[in-house]
Amino acid sequence: MKSNLRKVLVSRELFLFVLIIAIGLFLYFNNANFLTQANIKSMTLTIAVNSIIASAMTILFISGGFDLSSGSVMAILGIILGIMLNAGMNVVSVIILVLVIGIVIGLINGVLVTKANINPFIVTLGGFFLYRGLAYAIAKIVLGSKPGLGTFLPSFTDFPASFLKIAGGQFLKIEASFYYMIAILIIFGVLITKNLFFRQNYYIGNNENASKLLGMKLDRIKIINYSLVTLMVAVATILRASRIQTTTATTGETLGLEVVAAVIIGGASLKGGEGSILGSFLGIVLLTLIFNAIIVLEKNPVYYEFFVGIVLLASATLNEYMQKANQRKILRKSI
């Protein structure tokens, strides 16, 4: 019995899956609004958008990196997207430009961390404030001369039909954004488990000095990781805007923190060297389910923060326990 319980606890993905099923069943039997079409659509979009970002964030965490700025990056990219679409630019050109700008933001983060040797927490915390402020400032400049438009909530709508088709449809009653998410998760899952270049992130996260001695190009790998995160933020921004048909400067205010929390809940460590795409996805699903439970049960939203805090602290404690257990196993084998 103890052995089986330990296996469940040690297998982070299995534990999260069981917890998600338990919460889902509780909501199913206790609230009729849980499985309504509107509620399912809302959860599906949130899971898809956040999981796309979390997939790249997981690789960054595995390498020992960190990024708090993804929510603010989504805000500035959304405002840029809205401005260009409202200006009548070609949809394909707009998408390419948004993706390129996303990559450039990641390159800047990566260069500041690797070449300027600035702590990633400081770099991305700076981005957290900088890009949010820019989103508000740019949107207000563009919209300020138009009567009745967003002094406090600068937003853009009226997107072309061709853009709305990107993520606006459904297949087998499942949101299109969910299929994009599955494809991206599979790609990143294969890369981090099968591709030699991306598997180097585990070595870097576990022992950066040894990785240098082995000839790994640490700076290049880290810069690519930061760029992948912001590229996926750009992808998520495009899909979200296409689905809800609007972008605002308030988009993603807590997204960055939630994605980081989900990745840690999924088994990644701030110390690096650990993490999985599946675990991060399940972490996103769990947080989305907790938030949804608060809404459908009509409880105060502050309870969401309370429960996320508990789950995050429990996950961090479990991570530490598992790391020490693995170290003891290695030590016993070496004796």
Q: Where are the chain's structural domains?
A: 35-253
Cα–Cα distance, 289 to 270 (Å, whole number): 24
Asked whether residue 319 carries a pLDDT value surpassing 80, the answer given is no
* Model confidence pLDDT, tens digit, residues 242-282: 999 999 988 888 898 899 999 999 988 888 888 999 999 99
* Model confidence pLDDT, tens digit, residues 43-68: 999 999 999 999 999 999 999 999 99
Asked whether residue 8 carries a pLDDT value surpassing 50, the answer given is no
Cα–Cα distance, 302 to 294 (Å, whole number): 9
- With a pLDDT cut of 90, the percent of the chain lying above it is 59
Report helix, strand and coil shares of the chain as percent, to nearest 5.
75, 0, 25
Cα–Cα distance, 238 to 81 (Å, whole number): 8
Burial zone of 42 (CB within 10 Å; 0-12 exposed, 13-18 middle, 19+ buried): middle
Report which DSSP code applies to 126: H
Q: Can you list the alpha helix ranges (DSSP code H) found in 144-276?
A: 161-164, 176-194, 196-206, 208-213, 218-244, 255-265
Cα–Cα distance, 97 to 237 (Å, whole number): 13
State the pLDDT at residue 324.
Answer: 67
The whole-number average pLDDT for the span 186-213 is: 92
The whole-number average pLDDT for the span 83-95 is: 95
Whether 87 and 267 have beta carbons less than 8 Å apart is answered as no
